[in-house]
C-alpha cells in the first residue's frame, strides 16, 4: 500500500514565493508542507540583487497604473518586516543599504531631471547635493548628478535563512520531479502527487490545495494540462560578478538611454570578506548571446568608462546565465505584477519580483479564503525521516574562489 501524508496545503518550490507563503500560511493556522527539489532559493532567488523596488522602472516606462501603485507599496511592507513589526519578523536580515542611488553620466543629466519631475512625487526620490554623494561619486572626474531612491537593498541569503529556520520541520527535499509523478483527471484536477527521495522512498501527498511556486519548474505542470492554457515565459540574463579590494560599497542604477538602467550595481561580501560588485541592468539583458569571456570584456569596458578614476586591474570577474521565469506576456515583455492562476485544486504562481512576494502571498491567501479551506490536523508521519534541502550559497561564493 502507498505511504500517504495529509496536509491542507502542499507548496512545490522553495524560492522566495514558496518560503514567504509557507510562513504566512503557517501563521494562519493551516497545515502546510513545502517540497523543494534543489536547494532553497537555488533557482532565481539567490541570484537576485536584493533590491526592494519602489517603482523606478515603471516610472522610466512612464507608467502610473495599478501595477505601479502595487510596487510602490512594497518598500513599506518590507520595511515593517525588517524592523520586526510586519507580517513576518525579518529583524535579523541585514539591510545592505537603505537606498539605491540613481546616477547619470554628465551627458544625461538633463534627461534625469525631466523624468524625476514625475517620479519624485511617487517614489520619494531626492536629488543630492555634491557633499551628500556617496564617496565614489565625490571624485573630481565625476560630472553627473546623483539621486537617492527609496529602495532598500537586503541580504537575500539571510532572508532565505530567516524564512527557512522556523519551518525546518515542514520543509522536505525531494528528487527532481518527473511528469509521471503528477496525475490529472479529465478536468485538469490533480488527483495524485507522488514524491520520491533517494534511496527508495515514495510517498503520496494528499492536500486540499497544491500550490506551485516552482519558478521555471512550473512549466512541468503546464505541459500536462488539457483544458487550461496558462503559459510561462523565460527572460534570460547574463549577470556579472566583480570581486575587488576597493572600499566603495555601491548600490546604484546608472541611467542609460532606455527604460532599463544601463547598469545596476549592488555590493555584497564574499565569504573571505572581499567586496563583490554584482552587475545587472542593460548589460545583463544585452549580454545573453555573449560568451562569458566577451561579457567580462564588456563589463570591464563599462566600469572603465563609468569610473575612470578606479583601478580594476586586480579584480576577479565571473559571469553566469540565468532565466527569469514568469507567466507569459504578449511579446515576452516583463509582467507588471505578481501572478497566480487557480486551476481546480491547484494554484500556479510567480512573484515576478522578489519584492512582490508579500503581495503574491496575500493574493494566494485570499484565494484560499474564497475556497473555504478549513484547517485540519496534518499527518506527516511518513515524512519523518526525509531529508531537508540545503540553503543555496551566494552565487559569488560558488563562482569565485
Ligand X SMILES: Cc1cc2nc3c(=O)[nH]c(=O)nc-3n(C[C@H](O)[C@H](O)[C@H](O)COP(=O)(O)OP(=O)(O)OC[C@H]3O[C@@H](n4cnc5c(N)ncnc54)[C@H](O)[C@@H]3O)c2cc1C
Residue with the CB atom nearest ligand X in the bound state: 217
The nearer residue to ligand X, 142 or 326, going by C-beta atoms, is 326
315, 275 contact by CB (below 8 A): no
- Alpha carbon separation from 158 to 80, 176, 285 (Å, rounded): 17, 25, 27
What's the closest the beta carbon of residue 14 comes to ligand X, in angstroms?
5
What's the closest the beta carbon of residue 182 comes to ligand X, in angstroms?
9
- C-alpha torsion 297→274→40→283, nearest 10: -20
In total, the chain counts a number of residues equal to: 401
What's the closest the beta carbon of residue 333 comes to ligand X, in angstroms?
15
What's the closest the beta carbon of residue 60 comes to ligand X, in angstroms?
15
What's the closest the beta carbon of residue 196 comes to ligand X, in angstroms?
11
The nearer residue to ligand X, 197 or 378, going by C-beta atoms, is 197
The nearer residue to ligand X, 217 or 261, going by C-beta atoms, is 217
Q: What is the DSSP string of 364-399?
A: HHHHHHHTT------B-GGGTT---PPBPPPHHHHH
The nearer residue to ligand X, 208 or 353, going by C-beta atoms, is 353
Which residues are near ligand X by CB under 6 A?
Answer: 12-18, 35-38, 42-45, 47-51, 53, 174, 177, 213-215, 217, 220, 237, 239, 280, 322, 324-325, 350-355
What's the closest the beta carbon of residue 362 comes to ligand X, in angstroms?
15
**Nine cell digits for residue 354:** 522578489
Give the CA radius of gyration of the chain: 22
- Burial label, 364 (beta-carbon count in 10 A; 0-12, 13-18, 19+): buried
The nearer residue to ligand X, 277 or 350, going by C-beta atoms, is 350
User: What are the φ/ψ torsions at residue 279 (nearest 5 degrees)?
Assistant: -110, 120
The nearer residue to ligand X, 134 or 351, going by C-beta atoms, is 351
Amino acid at each position: 500500500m502507498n505511504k500517504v501524508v495529509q496536509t491542507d496545503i502542499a507548496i512545490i518550490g522553495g524560492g522566495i514565493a514558496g518560503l514567504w507563503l509557507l510562513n504566512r500560511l503557517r501563521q494562519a493556522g493551516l497545515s502546510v508542507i513545502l517540497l523543494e527539489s534543489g536547494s532553497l532559493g537555488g533557482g532565481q532567488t539567490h541570484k537576485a540583487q536584493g533590491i526592494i523596488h519602489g517603482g523606478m522602472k515603471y516610472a522610466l516606462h512612464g507608467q502610473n497604473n495599478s501595477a505601479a501603485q502595487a510596487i510602490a507599496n512594497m518598500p513599506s511592507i518590507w520595511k515593517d518586516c525588517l524592523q520586526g513589526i510586519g507580517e513576518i519578523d525579518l529583524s535579523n536580515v541585514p539591510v545592505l543599504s537603505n537606498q539605491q542611488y540613481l546616477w547619470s553620466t554628465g551627458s544625461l543629466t538633463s534627461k534625469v531631471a525631466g523624468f524625476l519631475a514625475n517620479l519624485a512625487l511617487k517614489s520619494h526620490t531626492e536629488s543630492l547635493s555634491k557633499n551628500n554623494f556617496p564617496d565614489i561619486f565625490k571624485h573630481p572626474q565625476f560630472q553627473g548628478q546623483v539621486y537617492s531612491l527609496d529602495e532598500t537593498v537586503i541580504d537575500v541569503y539571510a532572508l532565505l535563512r530567516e524564512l527557512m529556520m522556523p519551518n525546518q520541520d515542514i520543509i522536505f527535499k525531494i528528487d527532481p520531479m518527473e511528469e509521471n509523478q503528477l496525475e490529472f483527471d479529465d478536468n485538469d484536477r490533480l488527483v495524485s502527487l507522488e514524491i520520491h527521495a533517494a534511496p527508495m522512498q515514495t510517498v503520496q501527498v494528499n492536500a486540499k490545495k497544491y500550490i506551485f511556486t516552482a519558478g521555471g519548474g512550473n512549466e512541468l505542470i503546464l505541459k500536462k494540462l488539457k483544458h487550461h492554457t496558462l503559459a510561462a515565459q523565460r527572460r534570460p540574463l547574463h549577470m556579472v560578478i566583480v570581486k575587488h579590494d576597493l572600499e566603495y560599497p555601491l548600490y546604484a542604477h546608472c541611467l542609460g538611454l532606455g527604460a532599463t538602467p544601463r547598469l545596476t550595481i549592488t555590493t555584497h561580501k564574499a565569504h573571505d570578506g572581499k567586496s563583490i560588485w554584482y552587475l545587472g541592468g542593460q548589460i545583463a539583458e544585452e549580454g545573453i548571446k555573449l560568451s562569458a569571456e566577451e561579457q567580462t570584456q564588456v563589463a570591464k569596458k563599462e566600469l572603465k568608462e563609468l569610473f575612470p578614476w578606479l583601478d580594476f586591474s586586480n579584480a576577479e570577474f565571473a559571469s553566469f546565465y540565468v532565466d527569469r521565469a514568469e507567466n507569459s506576456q504578449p511579446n515576452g515583455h516583463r509582467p507588471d505584477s505578481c501572478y497566480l492562476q487557480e486551476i481546480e485544486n491547484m494554484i500556479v504562481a510567480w512573484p515576478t519580483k522578489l519584492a512582490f512576494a508579500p503581495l503574491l502571498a496575500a493574493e494566494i491567501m485570499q484565494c484560499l479564503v474564497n475556497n473555504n479551506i478549513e484547517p485540519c490536523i496534518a499527518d506527516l508521519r511518513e515524512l519523518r525521516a526525509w531529508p531537508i534541502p540545503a540553503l543555496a550559497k551566494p552565487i559569488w561564493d560558488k563562482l569565485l574562489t
